[in-house]
A and B are shown apart, each in its own frame.
Chain A
Amino acid sequence: MSVIYLIMPIALLMGLGFLFAFVRTTLSGQYDDLETPAHRILIDDELSTPPTPNDKKGNA
């Protein structure tokens, strides 16, 4: 059962890791707006206006 000393801390760390990520993302404002993200994904950007000469080339 000594393996419990290995996997308990790792499980705890995973939990803490997720907790840390949760707190950080909350503080960074990820969840300030819980309405528009759900709508935004429905907009297909393929349908947006054609490129203009001023556009910069993105990564490929």
Chain B
Amino acid sequence: MNQPEKAQEFDSFSYDDDIVKKFVHATLIWGFIAMLAGVFIASQLANWRLNLGLPWITFGRLRPVHTNGAIFAFAGNAVFAGVYYSMQRLLKTRMYSDLLSRVHFWGWQLIIVAAAITLPLGYTVGKEYAELEWPIAFAINVIWVIFAFNFFKTIQIRRERHIYVAIWFYIATILTTALLHVLNTIQIPVSMWKSYPIYSGVQDALVQWWYGHNAVAFVLTTPFLGLMYYFLPKAADRPVYSYRLSIVHFWSLVFIYIWAGPHHLLYTALPEWAQTLGMIFSIMLIAPSWGGMINGLLTLRGAWNRVRTEPILKFFVAGLTFYGMATLEGPLLSIKSISAVGHYTDWIIGHVHGGTLGWNGFITFAMVYWLVPRLWNTKLYSEKLANLHFWVGFLGTLTYVISMWTAGITQGLMWRAIDASGKLVYPDFIETVTRIVPLYYVRAVGGALYLSGFVIMLYNIYRTIALAPKEVEPVVVRAPKLLEPTFEMLGRKPHRILEGLPGLFAVLSFVAVAVGTFIELTPAVLSSDYVAVNPAVKPYSPLQLQGRDIYVREGCYLCHSQMVRPLISETLRYGSYSRAEESVYDRPFQWGSKRTGPDLARVGGKYPDLWHYRHMMDPRDVTPDSIMPIYPWLYRDKIDFDVLKKKLQVMKSLGVPYTDDEVEHASDLAHEEAHRIASGLVAQGVPADTEDKDIIALIAYLQRLGADFKKGLIQ
């Protein structure tokens, strides 16, 4: 800048706003679908008949469509829209490659379409927010790398030396999401749409929640903070309250967030020190999180009068407030004694939706209302409708969150209620379910309100774009060249070049070391020497394994946990607490995170085979008030015996001690076991042709759960 002797050289160029428009469209379309799926599955919980007895739209298969859709399709596309718009302007350059931007856009949409098709078909890995099977998971990695390359090359060709704080949030998002997703989705394929994770049991749980929590941190938090730091000052026409605070809270946030994952596994078979670590770091997170909220809200100082009239600012204020609320509630729920009540209940669902509906949704809406008129060179069709959207959405969020808080705390307290004689006050799990079913209706109404607000926005945006002028000259931007340009160092010594590329050097060295560590440590992880195996505990029989895969396919883990916590109320209800060695052959682990139904870790042997047979046909047959869907297709679809050999081969390669003989005769062994179970059932009046049906495999698996413990094989 201090070169007065030389005349400033100007570049003239234009921003690629077409890609931003594309992502805005995708955000709106997928947002509608994801929220519609959400309202539908919420209604299914209120009334099981809405499952309609169809496999593809039964709760267990549709719930991942909602969660993945909301996180990766709605929030994901919103983030990309905001990133492409803001980074070009903040860095004063067009994107490095228009082609890569489009590959990113279309690749991402294809991934979403593939997810929307495969999940209802039951192709799932069975780990929350990482459900997509290996070909899609792999495609995500590829598309993410393409996006990252385009992103960092754009930073490299920037014309603005200072990297604004929003960009820092984007950088953290891109790097961390990539690493965590890659690590969590290392799986060995059995076929095109079935794979087993390389980790098992407690290890799988730890990797999964390390990923899962950071999906919240680096997909739903950091990029949205980045968006907030760009779009809020723009909308309020005021600089951010404290730029210094934004830098401080960015760095402290990224340092701390990595460690918070284990708070999803409190009181599980995860070693206690890891649980405590997760708890402490989660509580520490309050400080940087509130740094962001306070900085956002105080940015509006002197502009509060405008909040009264401007819907965009309303969305920002409410969004930031919900962010502050969720980031206080989260750390509180991470305290072990609070987690003891809240975990597995709808409190968590309420907590999550305070964040997603209130924070991610509202920040996205604010951004879209601000962006669309600018992108299409017009004015918003109706400010009134936008205000209406705000109030309907706000009411919907509150209805949702309050109903789920009430449901969660009610049920959590009922589960642990013990009378003076030391017995459970509500020994029948179903009592605690029927009590909260009315709140499931309230929640569905809350969700429907939120969706209606979204539809109002769709109409408003549609009219806005329809009114926009058709032909608009691209705006030409002028900016001086960067006088200490990073890229002009090319051609000098290689190391000097790297040093001159801020960020990139850090990234490359980080990736290099991470890859090195990974290669070095993978054999250790895979080696059976490191897995605490109890020789008395045998791996799943081929039929049980097949049944387990059906359990995963139907998404049973979304409503049933397999983890009895060492709490009196739990051991009274379910039996002795779960040990780590019990899930040593579990690929994926199925500990679960929610108990809409009871825990299943010790269900084996609790009921006769016939009970399970009748229960899956119609749960009301054995539990009159049950809200569980019916599974008629399990009685029609045949067990795939032929794939079992391949499945056992893959398991054996992962260190599961199957003998060669077992692998070779996997299909025969399964046939024998199925015949044994079916003949017992047939003797009790079940149709004679059930022997080769899915239900038999599922019964074999369910009867195995906790059986080793009951036999005294595990102490």
Query: Could you mark each residue 9-20 of chain B with 1 if its beta carbon is under 8 Å from any beta carbon of chain A, else 0?
Result: 111111010000
Contacts of A60 in B (CB 8 A): 13-14, 16, 94, 98
Complex interface residues of chain A between 24 and 42 (CB less than 8 A to chain B)? 24-25, 28, 30-31, 33-35, 37-42
Contacts of A18 in B (CB 8 A): 172, 251, 254-255
Residue B202 lies at the interface, judged by CB distance under 8 Å to chain A: yes
Query: Could you mark each residue 243-269 of chain B with 1 if its beta carbon is under 8 Å from any beta carbon of chain A, else 0?
Result: 110010001001100110000000000
Contact A6 B176, CB 8 Å, known A37-B164, A57-B13? no
Contacts of A58 in B (CB 8 A): 11-13, 93-94, 159, 479
Q: How many angstroms between the C-alpha atoms of A54 and B12 in the bound complex?
A: 10
Question: Residue A15 contacts which of B13, B157, B258 (CB distance < 8 angstroms)?
Answer: B258
Q: How many angstroms between the C-alpha atoms of A31 and B13 in the bound complex?
A: 28
Smallest CB gap from A18: residue in B: B254
Q: Assess the A7–B179 pair: CB atoms within 8 A.
A: no
Give the shortest distance, in Å, between B12 (CB) and chain A (any CB).
4
Residue B188 lies at the interface, judged by CB distance under 8 Å to chain A: no
Contacts of A20 in B (CB 8 A): 506, 509-510
Contact A5 B525, CB 8 Å, known A11-B259, A18-B251? yes
Q: Assess the A21–B12 pair: CB atoms within 8 A.
A: no
- What is the total of A-B residue contacts with beta carbons within 8 Å? 162
Q: Assess the A5–B478 pair: CB atoms within 8 A.
A: no
Contact A13 B13, CB 8 Å, known A2-B525, A58-B94? no
Give the shortest distance, in Å, between B563 (CB) and chain A (any CB).
16
Contacts of B527 in A (CB 8 A): 2
Contact A38 B240, CB 8 Å, known A2-B524, A10-B517, A10-B518? yes
| B74-82, B229-237, B619-627 - interface stretch | B229-237
Residue B308 lies at the interface, judged by CB distance under 8 Å to chain A: no
Question: Residue A34 contacts which of B203, B206, B243, B254 (CB distance < 8 angstroms)?
Answer: B243
Contacts of A31 in B (CB 8 A): 247
Q: Assess the B478–A45 pair: CB atoms within 8 A.
A: yes
Give the shortest distance, in Å, between B358 (CB) and chain A (any CB).
25
Smallest CB gap from A11: residue in B: B258
Give the shortest distance, in Å, between A46 (CB) and chain B (any CB).
5
Residue B183 lies at the interface, judged by CB distance under 8 Å to chain A: yes
Q: Assess the A33–B176 pair: CB atoms within 8 A.
A: no
Residue B207 lies at the interface, judged by CB distance under 8 Å to chain A: yes
Q: Assess the A3–B206 pair: CB atoms within 8 A.
A: yes
Contacts of B207 in A (CB 8 A): 3, 7
Q: Assess the B478–A41 pair: CB atoms within 8 A.
A: no
Contacts of B159 in A (CB 8 A): 58
Contacts of A5 in B (CB 8 A): 521, 524-525
Give the shortest distance, in Å, between A59 (CB) and chain B (any CB).
5
Contacts of B179 in A (CB 8 A): 10, 14
Contacts of B517 in A (CB 8 A): 6, 9-10, 13
Smallest CB gap from B171: residue in A: A21
Q: Assess the B176–A14 pair: CB atoms within 8 A.
A: yes
Q: Assess the A21–B10 pair: CB atoms within 8 A.
A: no
Contacts of B524 in A (CB 8 A): 2, 5-6
Q: How many angstroms between the C-alpha atoms of A52 and B8 in the bound complex?
A: 12
Contact A25 B163, CB 8 Å, known A46-B477, A60-B98? yes
Q: How many angstroms between the C-alpha atoms of A49 and B479 in the bound complex?
A: 10
Question: Residue B10 contacts which of A3, A19, A56 (CB distance < 8 angstroms)?
Answer: A56
Q: Assess the B502–A56 pair: CB atoms within 8 A.
A: no
Q: Assess the B92–A45 pair: CB atoms within 8 A.
A: yes
Complex interface residues of chain B between 177 and 205 (CB less than 8 A to chain A)? 179, 183, 199, 202-203
Q: How many angstroms between the C-alpha atoms of A26 and B175 in the bound complex?
A: 20
Residue B96 lies at the interface, judged by CB distance under 8 Å to chain A: yes
Smallest CB gap from A17: residue in B: B510
Q: How many angstroms between the C-alpha atoms of A55 and B158 in the bound complex?
A: 17
Give the shortest distance, in Å, between B9 (CB) and chain A (any CB).
7
Residue B605 lies at the interface, judged by CB distance under 8 Å to chain A: no
Contacts of A45 in B (CB 8 A): 89, 92, 477-479
Contacts of A2 in B (CB 8 A): 203, 524-525, 527, 530-531
Give the shortest distance, in Å, between B43 (CB) and chain A (any CB).
39
Contact A37 B243, CB 8 Å, known A1-B202, A58-B12, A59-B94? yes
Q: How many angstroms between the C-alpha atoms of A5 and B521 in the bound complex?
A: 7
Contacts of B89 in A (CB 8 A): 41, 45
Contact A59 B93, CB 8 Å, known A6-B518, A13-B517? yes
Residue B505 lies at the interface, judged by CB distance under 8 Å to chain A: yes
Q: Assess the A10–B514 pair: CB atoms within 8 A.
A: yes
Contact A56 B476, CB 8 Å, known A14-B179, A34-B243? no
Contacts of A38 in B (CB 8 A): 233, 239-240, 243
Q: How many angstroms between the C-alpha atoms of A14 and B259 in the bound complex?
A: 11
Give the interface centre of B176, B179, B506 by most chain A CB atoms within 10 Å: B506
Q: Assess the B239–A17 pair: CB atoms within 8 A.
A: no
Q: Assess the B510–A6 pair: CB atoms within 8 A.
A: no
Contact A17 B13, CB 8 Å, known A38-B240, A45-B477? no
Q: Assess the A51–B478 pair: CB atoms within 8 A.
A: yes
Give the shortest distance, in Å, between B295 (CB) and chain A (any CB).
10
Contacts of A59 in B (CB 8 A): 13, 93-94, 96, 157
Contacts of B171 in A (CB 8 A): 21
Q: Assess the B258–A3 pair: CB atoms within 8 A.
A: no
Q: How many angstroms between the C-alpha atoms of A47 and B544 in the bound complex?
A: 68
Contacts of A4 in B (CB 8 A): 206, 274
Smallest CB gap from A22: residue in B: B251
Q: How many angstroms between the C-alpha atoms of A2 and B90 in the bound complex?
A: 44
Question: Residue B12 contacts which of A7, A9, A57 (CB distance < 8 angstroms)?
Answer: A57
Give the shortest distance, in Å, between B204 (CB) and chain A (any CB).
8
Give the interface centre of A3, A14, A17, A46 by most chain B CB atoms within 10 Å: A3
Q: Which 10 A-B pairs have the closest CB atoms?
A: A58-B13, A2-B530, A17-B510, A38-B239, A3-B203, A51-B12, A58-B11, A21-B506, A38-B243, A55-B12
27 contacts between A and B (CB under 8 A): A1-B202, A1-B271, A1-B532, A3-B207, A6-B525, A10-B179, A10-B517, A10-B518, A14-B179, A14-B510, A15-B255, A17-B175, A17-B506, A17-B510, A18-B251, A24-B505, A35-B243, A37-B165, A37-B243, A38-B243, A41-B230, A41-B234, A42-B239, A51-B478, A54-B10, A59-B94, A60-B94
Given contacts A1-B202, A37-B162, 14 further A-B contacts (CB under 8 A): A2-B527, A6-B522, A7-B183, A7-B210, A15-B255, A16-B510, A17-B507, A21-B506, A28-B502, A30-B163, A31-B247, A41-B90, A45-B89, A58-B12
